[in-house]
Structure 1
Amino acid sequence: MTLDFKMWYTLSLLIIMSILLIFDIIELEVLFFSILLLLLMGKIITLEEAFAGFSNVGMLTIALLFVIAGALSNTGMLKQISPIILGKENTRISHTLLRLLFPVSIISAFINNTPVVAMFIPTIRAWTEKHHYAPSKYLIPLSYGAILGGMCTLIGTSTNLIIHGLMIDYGMEGLGFFEISKIGIPVTILGILFMSFLGHRLLPNRKEPLIELGEHTREFVIELKVTQEYENIGKTIENAGLRRLKGLFLFQIERNGRRIAPAKPDEKILLDDRLFFTGIPKTILELQKIPGLQLTKDSHFNLKQYDSAEIRTFECVVSRGSPLVGKTVRDSDFRSKYEAVIIAIHRHGERIAKKIGDIGLRPGDTLLLLAGKNFYKRWYHSKDFYLIAVAETLPSKPQWRGYVSLGVFFMMIILTVANILPLLSAAGLGVIILVLTRTANAGEARRTIDWRVLIIIAMSLGIANAVKQSGLADVLAHIIVRIGDHFGVLGVLASIYFFTSIYTLVITNNAAAAMLFPIAVSAASAINVDQRGFAIAIMIAASASFATPISYQTNLMVYSPGGYRFRDYLMIGAPLQLGIGAIAIALIYCFYF
């Protein structure tokens, strides 16, 4: 089969694009947009075909699922699961990985794996630091477990939805919600067993040095009261897990008017104790959310269930001419005047060992506040403060909104599985409910959508159209058929799978799936077999990408937190990718051919 100008032109652009991707010379979205423009200029595709991906069913569904997953994360529903999964006792790595990876894969089967991994990274790092383990033994398995789980249902990963949308575009019946489970579940179980009992031995043992508070750290002081709801009453500081908190230090306990300083590890925590911590803003915010540790009773805010969309965190520096100077926090009537709560106070070079209410304010003191979102505009020009800055705010919502987000999630699954509504409509209905109940406001909905991912997906679909319209898909399919034809359908299926698997190592999984889908369809047509099995082979091959950090977004997410190097992924990922490929091909062949 000879290649005409359109085929050569398209093939040349694909080769150039692949080389630039391998050497990471140009940003992905810039590269894809440039290739699309060159394809338009070469009249390979029309303007409509180039940007048809922006209306693809799969891509629109992904955007809505970002909002639903974001609501589950922001309301704290995902975070509540983490301590239950990891546990509190020191166990063998194999047991911990089994305990971690099976739940992660189940969650990832129903929630996009990106927010799942994002939620577990800080939890695993904190847990490994507490038990003196190396996070490098757990974070790559976390990413791989999420990827494997995503292959078990239609909504588990964006790649599945892209293929689902392409199948509909090509006149095929879309995927059922659990259609790929018969392949995904066995593959996931075997992958988790490999990582738990063998794979972790191939990973490095790199421990991250703890962040110690010292003279160069900007320390805030926070005071918390122990109430009956605190589960560690009667335990020592060490056993309660308060001795080695990253970025926090318990330096004093006040009991019945008596100060215990320094607070030793074997000191027991009793009811009504006042615990004095020094730490950085982020860890202080996390600390005050612990049940049973009470910051203050306040008429403006419920500090355990405040809505971070309405209440923000600010840092304010007290000015020399401020009416606050010389007054204690209690006497200043701060909450009534400024409609804000002082969470913690930083005074450079001094660790303040007083109750927050008894601290006399001085010029230059930095206050960490919780206040309404209009606080900045209202007080920015005030002479009471030198500086007002928006501090890091942890996502927080009232508990009932967490239940709403969970209800919406299950409603979407039930409506889809029962064939009452298509997935796109069910997800759209869920987003409307989240916005109407203010579980996710419009601003939060926009922020939770990863627009970069969506744009890359849409443009890769445009490039895939060019591969099809130029006739290049048929030529490449013909070559693949000839390579695998000696082994019949199984040989062609294996060729398609591993061609996709290799290409996914240098390009994002969604882009690889979109570009190779028309080739797979042409190959199936050439040997006169069901196109569905080949479409699913593309889907699994594009998702099961473990051998490089750039091949899957979650692999890249754990790269820095785990202190990994490129070769670490090859050591564990290459054998896993080959093994998963062999099993997946065998299962697809059995079920579809």
Structure 2
Amino acid sequence: MLSFESLIVFSAILFIIVSLYKEFMNPALTFIVGVLGLGVAGILEPREILAGFANEQIAVIVLLLLVGEVVRKTGVIDQIFDLFFRSSRTYRQFLFRMTAIVSGLSAFLNNTPLVAVMMPYVHNWSKGEGRPTPSKLLIPLSYASILGGCATLIGTSTNLIVNSMITEQQVIQGLRPLEMFEFAWVGVPMIVLGGLYLVVVSGRLLPENRDYFAEFKANTRQYLVETRLRPGAGLVGKSVSEAGLRNLQGLFLVKVLREGNGIAPVHPELKLRQDDILVFAGDTSTIADLLTAYQDLQPVEVELFGGNGAGMHMVEGVIAYNSSLENKTIKESQFRSQYDAAVVAVLRGGERISGKIGSISLKAGDVLLLLAGRDFQELTRENRDFYVLSETRKPPKVETWKAVLPIAGLVSAIVLSTLKIVPLFLSVSVLLAVLLLFRVASAKDIVGGIDYNLVMIIAMSLALGVAMTKTGVAEVIASNMLLPMMRFGNIGVMIGVYGVTAVLSSLMLNKAAVALLFPVVLTLAQQTGMDPLGLILCMTFAAAANFLSPVGFQTNMMVYGPGGYSFKDFFRIGLPLTMMYMVVTVGVLSVMY
């Protein structure tokens, strides 16, 4: 019979799973509400809720993410990609080089900025005559970063989160922290096998979906309509609001071109003049209705991105997972004023969303086609809400020494940590201090680069694990869900752990999956007498090597919208890779542990 406290913990777990799957609220807030509920019920003490914030591994995760952001901004990754991909001529050549370099880099750098930097190369390479659309390359790009990230302790935050949980249990359970290259015994063979798999099957299994950004650049008239006021028009002298141009169905006024200059965003009180050109964006299939309703307007042909463009250029971006823009309409987000860019179209699941642009509620993975102004790059420099994937204007180059210093420093920090000369926390902290001293990064970069949501999720996950262990919930789950696999021996238990973790990670954030399963796996190891590190690593690989759906891993969500993929596209190519990864993981770990 379950105790009352156990029922409360089960209720908190159920709430967290449902909330994450249904997206009732963002992941950080979900964990906060769940864990605070356990605190109010008296199951967790305040010190147990707050203990995670003092965990060294959380600090290491934050520091490594900050260094990764600095590396991304210096442009050194762009230079490396230029060197490797410049001479690629065929699809197989490009795919092979991409999987090799991305998996190699992601073993030591955060994979999210790597994928964000690589996406423009995919788009640019795909422009060549006879070459496939980006949809043939974007899933392999994400999977290559995942394969590489699983090969080292610092390759993905999931590995570091598990290590933080181990350090929390180090004294109680007698566990030791994981080594830097302890993941390599499984990770490196899978980089080779997984990379070859992607090169061989991607061209056959992945769809060739439309490249909306290429269409957008080739034919802006599908998305933008320019109109001029007819001579003697009654709208002359009226404000935009008085003319009724603020709340059009399916269209919105992006900007007004006046005397060679662009006025954007357009203030509702702006007075219209005779020679003004009004640029509308959105569902241009309704243009006939617009011209019928407003006979003072007539369509014109204007070179929007030439002289009259007033610095405007086209951008493609994708809404990030856990973005502050999620579940807000474009109008509510004040996108134009915040980023000096107008949303011209929104793509979701490979299809363009019709209707009034300002009323569209944004979701993670949505692709935005933007008309951006001069200040766009500066205003989005510290942006974490969406990733710029393709842009008709390139950022300025950074001095070579500033690009090399963060990479050299990170390599030195990893070497010192591996040789156990200096702890990783201290070496990366010193590196950040040096980057600030030599002005490679600014204090604003450091503060703006901290992922507070991730920190909150990890800290609350540790507290949830404490509650599951204290109340016996972890033991109940282990006994009823995974212990029956013992009839198939230790191999059966490991397969059970891998399978449950892989499925759970495909339905929710993989960091949440390891938070829920870590105490269960630890209890299972005690009940079966198996080496706990072997089972913990089995769970970690299953969570981090997330190929079955776009939901569980951030890079999968990043490519989901731009590639125009469906869930079945991920499942079709990801299931064989998952099975391959499970066989290698269980085989290697059963021998080692």
Structure 2 length as normaliser, TM-score?
0.69
For structure 2, which runs of at least 5 residues remain unmatched after alignment? 227-262, 267-300, 314-372, 379-394
Task: Give the equivalent residue in structure 2 for 1:507.
Answer: 508
Cα drift, residue 52 of structure 1: 2.3
- 1:359-508 superposed matches below 5 A: 366=310, 390-393=375-378, 394=395, 396-508=397-509
Residue 125 of structure 1, aligned match among 112, 120, 123: 123
- Residue pair 2:15, 2:34 contacting (<8 A) in 1 also: no
The CA distance in 1 between the partners of 2:396 and 2:459, in whole Å, is 30
The CA distance in 2 between the partners of 1:528 and 1:349, in whole Å, is 75
The CA distance in 1 between the partners of 2:102 and 2:571, in whole Å, is 22
Structure 1 counterpart of 2:125, which letter? W
Task: Give the equivalent residue in structure 1 for 2:15.
Answer: 16
Q: Cα gap change, 1:85/1:450 in structure 2, threshold over 3 Å: closer, same or farther?
A: farther
Q: Cα gap change, 1:155/1:218 in structure 2, threshold over 3 Å: closer, same or farther?
A: farther
Structure 2 counterpart of 1:70, which letter? E
- 1:524-563 superposed matches below 5 A: 524-563=525-564
Cα displacement string for residues 336-367 of structure 1 (whole angstroms, at most 9, x for unaligned residues) = xxxxxxxxxxxx946999xxxxx9xxxx9946
Task: Give the equivalent residue in structure 1 for 2:81.
Answer: 82
Q: Cα gap change, 1:89/1:539 in structure 2, threshold over 3 Å: closer, same or farther?
A: closer
Q: Cα gap change, 1:530/1:395 in structure 2, threshold over 3 Å: closer, same or farther?
A: farther
The CA distance in 2 between the partners of 1:100 and 1:513, in whole Å, is 29
- Secondary structure at the residue paired with 1:130? coil
- Residue pair 2:88, 2:94 contacting (<8 A) in 1 also: no
Cα drift, residue 181 of structure 1: 0.4
Structure 1 counterpart of 2:375, which letter? V
- Residue pair 2:68, 2:113 contacting (<8 A) in 1 also: yes
Pair 1:212-2:223 in alignment: no
- 1:258-407 superposed matches below 5 A: 349=302, 366=310, 390-393=375-378, 394=395, 396-407=397-408
For structure 1, which runs of at least 5 residues remain unmatched after alignment? 220-313, 318-347, 354-358, 370-387
Task: Give the equivalent residue in structure 1 for 2:114.
Answer: 116
Cα drift, residue 504 of structure 1: 0.8
The CA distance in 2 between the partners of 1:82 and 1:28, in whole Å, is 33
The CA distance in 2 between the partners of 1:483 and 1:26, in whole Å, is 35
- Residue pair 1:133, 1:207 contacting (<8 A) in 2 also: no
- Secondary structure at the residue paired with 1:538? helix
Q: Cα gap change, 1:557/1:148 in structure 2, threshold over 3 Å: closer, same or farther?
A: same
Structure 1 counterpart of 2:195, which letter? I
Task: Give the equivalent residue in structure 1 for 2:364.
Answer: none
- Residue pair 1:315, 1:368 contacting (<8 A) in 2 also: no
The CA distance in 2 between the partners of 1:450 and 1:127, in whole Å, is 32
Structure 1 counterpart of 2:377, which letter? E
Cα drift, residue 489 of structure 1: 1.7
- Identity across matched positions, percent: 31
Task: Give the equivalent residue in structure 2 for 1:107.
Answer: 105
Cα drift, residue 203 of structure 1: 1.1
- 1:62-73 superposed matches below 5 A: 62-73=61-72
Structure 1 counterpart of 2:180, which letter? F
- Secondary structure at the residue paired with 1:29? helix
The CA distance in 1 between the partners of 2:99 and 2:426, in whole Å, is 31
- Residue pair 1:168, 1:174 contacting (<8 A) in 2 also: yes
Of 153-162 and 47-56, more deviation after overlay is shown by: 47-56
Cα displacement string for residues 497-530 of structure 1 (whole angstroms, at most 9, x for unaligned residues) = 2221111112211221122111111111112222
- Residue pair 2:549, 2:571 contacting (<8 A) in 1 also: yes
- 1:54-65 superposed matches below 5 A: 54-65=53-64
- 1:153-192 superposed matches below 5 A: 153-171=152-170, 172-192=175-195
Q: Cα gap change, 1:482/1:418 in structure 2, threshold over 3 Å: closer, same or farther?
A: closer
Cα displacement string for residues 310-340 of structure 1 (whole angstroms, at most 9, x for unaligned residues) = xxxx9999xxxxxxxxxxxxxxxxxxxxxxx
Cα drift, residue 447 of structure 1: 2.4
Cα drift, residue 461 of structure 1: 2.3
- Secondary structure at the residue paired with 1:515? helix
The CA distance in 1 between the partners of 2:303 and 2:139, in whole Å, is 41
Task: Give the equivalent residue in structure 1 for 2:232.
Answer: none
The CA distance in 2 between the partners of 1:391 and 1:552, in whole Å, is 28
- 1:233-252 superposed matches below 5 A: none
Q: Cα gap change, 1:351/1:197 in structure 2, threshold over 3 Å: closer, same or farther?
A: closer
The CA distance in 2 between the partners of 1:435 and 1:86, in whole Å, is 32
Q: Which runs of 4+ in 1 moved over 6 A?
A: 215-219, 314-317, 350-353
Task: Give the equivalent residue in structure 2 for 1:152.
Answer: 151
The CA distance in 1 between the partners of 2:166 and 2:515, in whole Å, is 11
Structure 2 counterpart of 1:478, which letter? S
Cα drift, residue 213 of structure 1: 6.5
The CA distance in 1 between the partners of 2:580 and 2:187, in whole Å, is 13
Structure 1 counterpart of 2:92, which letter? S
Cα drift, residue 140 of structure 1: 0.6
Q: Cα gap change, 1:109/1:3 in structure 2, threshold over 3 Å: closer, same or farther?
A: same
- Secondary structure at the residue paired with 2:179? coil
Pair 1:28-2:13 in alignment: no
Cα drift, residue 576 of structure 1: 1.7
The CA distance in 1 between the partners of 2:77 and 2:195, in whole Å, is 21
Cα drift, residue 423 of structure 1: 1.4
The CA distance in 2 between the partners of 1:108 and 1:367, in whole Å, is 35
Cα drift, residue 549 of structure 1: 0.7
Cα drift, residue 156 of structure 1: 0.5
The CA distance in 1 between the partners of 2:35 and 2:377, in whole Å, is 39
Root mean square deviation of aligned Cα: 3.0
- Residue pair 2:501, 2:517 contacting (<8 A) in 1 also: yes
Of 55-64 and 140-149, more deviation after overlay is shown by: 55-64
Cα drift, residue 208 of structure 1: 0.5
Q: Cα gap change, 1:218/1:421 in structure 2, threshold over 3 Å: closer, same or farther?
A: farther
The CA distance in 1 between the partners of 2:478 and 2:309, in whole Å, is 69
Cα displacement string for residues 18-62 of structure 1 (whole angstroms, at most 9, x for unaligned residues) = 223333333222222211121112222112222322222222111
Cα displacement string for residues 506-563 of structure 1 (whole angstroms, at most 9, x for unaligned residues) = 2211221122111111111112222111111121111011111111011001111111
Return the structure number with greater helix share: 2
Aligned residues: 443
Cα drift, residue 427 of structure 1: 1.3
Q: Cα gap change, 1:138/1:456 in structure 2, threshold over 3 Å: closer, same or farther?
A: same
Structure 1 length as normaliser, TM-score?
0.69
The CA distance in 2 between the partners of 1:214 and 1:153, in whole Å, is 45
The CA distance in 1 between the partners of 2:564 and 2:425, in whole Å, is 38
